[in-house]
Amino acid sequence: MNKVQKVYTLAKAAYDIAFEGEEWELVEALETPLVEAEGALVEWALDYAEKTGTIPTKLLATLRDRWMFPPHHGKMIELAMKLSI
């Protein structure tokens, strides 16, 4: 696991714990760091895909613009977490 993946994992864990504990002020405070960590994770994964040529250029452009929308969001996060480089 690289640094970007670790940052995302920690941000997601903190957010999930706050959400499960119904600590709504904390959830709100953790939302921005989580969204930023997700963005960094997906950008890192897309940069890697671009460098290795594993995703066609046209699809990369689409994913960069739309990764945060359903149904792409969950899949992009999951795929980025599976990368091991």
The pLDDT tens digits for 27-63 are 999 999 999 999 999 999 999 999 999 999 999 999 9
**pTM, to two decimals:** 0.89
| Segment 11-38 mean pLDDT | 98
How far apart CA 58 and CA 28 sit, in angstroms, is 35
With bands split at pLDDT 50, 70 and 90, how would you rate the model's confidence at 71? confident
Tokens representing 77 are 């996060």
Q: Where are the domains of the chain?
A: 3-82
- Quickly tell me which residue has 């959400």 as its tokens: 19
pLDDT at 59: 92
